Amino acid sequence: MSAQGFAFTPAQLQEIAADVLKFARKRGASACETDVSEGVGQTVTVRKGEVDTIEYNRDKGIGVTVYLGQQRGHASTSDFSRKALKATVEAAVSIARFTAPDPCAGLADAALMAKDCPDLGLDHPWVLGVDEAIATAHRCEEAAFAHSSRITNSEGASVSAQRSHFVSANSLGFMGGFASTRHGLSCSVIAGEGDAMQREYWYDSRRNAAELMGAEEVGRRAAERALARLGAKKIRTCEVPVLFEAPLAVGLLGNFVHAVSGGALYRKSSFLLDSLGEQVFSPLINIAERPHQRGAFGSTPFDSDGVATRDREVVVDGVLQGYFLSAYSARKLGMQTTANAGGSHNLRVAGGELDFEGLVKKMERGLIVTELLGHGVNYVTGDYSRGAAGFWVEKGRIKHPVEEITIAGNLREMFRSIVAVGNDALPRGAKHCGSLLIERMKIAGR
């Protein structure tokens, strides 16, 4: 990443946000909120020993939401000039005038706004020269090819360094913001030849580049996963235990968050309607939200409404303790915001005692899922059907890779029939969940 960093200082972003609020007040807005942001970054990709792409990004933007009583209007711009700010505010006010009143529209309560913005250790610039980035990507891809002669092709290895900062403010006096970084390494390779080829990948992503998995390890991991899939075949249609590998288990956690988020609930488009205080998971499951964890991807002192975030227990012994609500969705439901405007903040599923190998042994016979295809989730009914690939297990050991199958079930039943959680959660995202063993699912194959 370029050493010069941002074009705007935090003080300048704050000044721009203050100007937006002032312009909105002059245009007759009863309330206003704005977000001012800037991001810079660099991504380098090599493929088969050659530099494939070198990308630089420098982005900035302003979002303005105004309220005329219960009428709401929104506009945005990437121009930071005062003339553009005034025009954007005017556009938002004009939209609001033609919008039907919504009794739930408006800013969150002033008493709930964050009062301070502590340093959560989210900003770790990676001063990465392009030559160093290229060399790192080369090492990553070379490690994959060196692992085995059966690695025959590559879709590339990438190194990315990204940094951004923002300021959020509203007419209730709230103003806060911070800088953060996201850096990553990835590699995707192909094993085998002709009709017997398999593709796989691996990646790591962290706030602090010093914590990234080594480039060679990322390449080797991608190669190992591609090789393991050689010789994959269909299995007969059956109903057996299914083990979701940790990266896919996080997806199931995302399905849960969607189902108990305000938008799905007030639209009555969730299979978990009116589930507060109900047993929605196996008693083994405990899910915590930890928005102030230092250095984590989901950490923030406030949500998109400016409401102060806090630690909470979302699921205790399988029982749902709270939804994910913004100020707006909370009003629609007659409830209190949970400071989740913009999504969840560092969800942690408590891991069990078993590692991945231990879960395979516990399963005894069934399917390990390592890849999912398609988007077959019906949030109204909870029905779940996805194309899948993975490995067949017999007597607690992997017997052979599997492909061209479909797994099916219902999320409500799947959540309740989790029989084990692994201790193998990956630290590369805002949701942490170890591998999940589900007691039984339908597998459609031969």
**Where along the chain do its domains lie?**
10-227, 231-446
What's the CATH code, domain 10-227?
Answer: 3.30.2290.10
CA distances from 397 to 221, 231, 299 (A): 20, 17, 38
Higher pLDDT, 32 or 4: 32
State percent of the chain over pLDDT 90: 96
- Over the stretch 358-371, which tens digit does the pLDDT of each residue have? 999 999 999 999 99
Please state, in angstroms and rounded to a whole number, the distance separating the CA atoms of residues 245 and 355.
11
Who contacts 97 (Cβ-Cβ below 8 Å, separation ≥6)?
A: 68, 71, 73
Asked if pLDDT for residue 31 goes beyond 80, the answer is yes
Find the helix packing angle between 215-228 and 130-147, rounded to 10°: 30
pLDDT tens-place string over residues 200-257: 999 999 999 999 999 999 999 999 999 999 999 999 999 999 999 999 999 999 999 9
pLDDT of residue 5: 86
Q: What is the pLDDT of residues 191-213, one digit of tens each?
A: 998 888 999 999 999 999 999 99
DSSP state of 350: P
**Contact criterion met (CB below 8 Å) for 37 and 168:** no
pLDDT band at 22 (very low <50, low <70, confident <90, very high): very high
CA 188 to CA 256: how far, in whole Å? 29
CB contact set of 153 (below 8 Å; sequence gap of 6+): 48, 189, 190, 197
Tell me, what amino acid is at 174?
F
d(CA 1, CA 160): 9
| CA–CA separation, 202 and 436 (whole Å) | 20
The answer to whether residue 393 scores a pLDDT higher than 50 is yes
pLDDT digits (tens, 9 = 90+) for 46-99: 999 999 999 999 999 999 999 999 999 999 999 999 999 999 999 999 999 999
* Residue 347, strand partner residues: 289, 431
Q: What DSSP letter does each residue of 54-107 carry, written as one string? A: EEEEEEEEEEEEEEETTEEEEEEES--SHHHHHHHHHHHHHHHHTSPP-TT-SP
Question: Closest Cα partner for 292 from 279, 305, 311?
Answer: 311
* Percentage above 70 pLDDT, the chain: 99
Residues 125-140, mean pLDDT to the nearest whole number: 96
Q: How far apart are the first and last CA of the chain?
A: 50
Identify the band that residue 295 occupies on the pLDDT scale cut at 50, 70 and 90: very high
Work out the average pLDDT over 348-354: 96
pLDDT digit string, tens, across residues 175-188: 999 999 999 999 99
Contacts 24+ apart (CB under 8 A), 50-58: 51/134, 52/156, 54/130, 54/134, 56/2, 57/162, 58/7
Residue 43 half-sphere exposure toward CB, CA atoms < 13 A = 15
Q: What was the pLDDT predicted at 109?
A: 97
- Cβ neighbours for 418, distance < 8 A, ≥ 6 positions apart: 281, 282, 284, 285, 436, 437, 438, 439
pLDDT category at 2 given cuts 50, 70, 90 is very low
List residues bridging with 188 in a β-sheet. 156, 201
pTM score, whole prediction: 0.94
Averaged pLDDT score across all residues of the chain:
96
SS3 for 170-195, per residue? ECCCCEEEEEEEEEEEEEEEEECCCC
Residue 248 structure tokens: 């896919």
- CA nearest to 333, candidates 268, 279, 380: 268
| pLDDT value, residue 1 | 41
Model pLDDT, residue 236: 95
Q: What is the CA radius of gyration of the chain?
A: 24
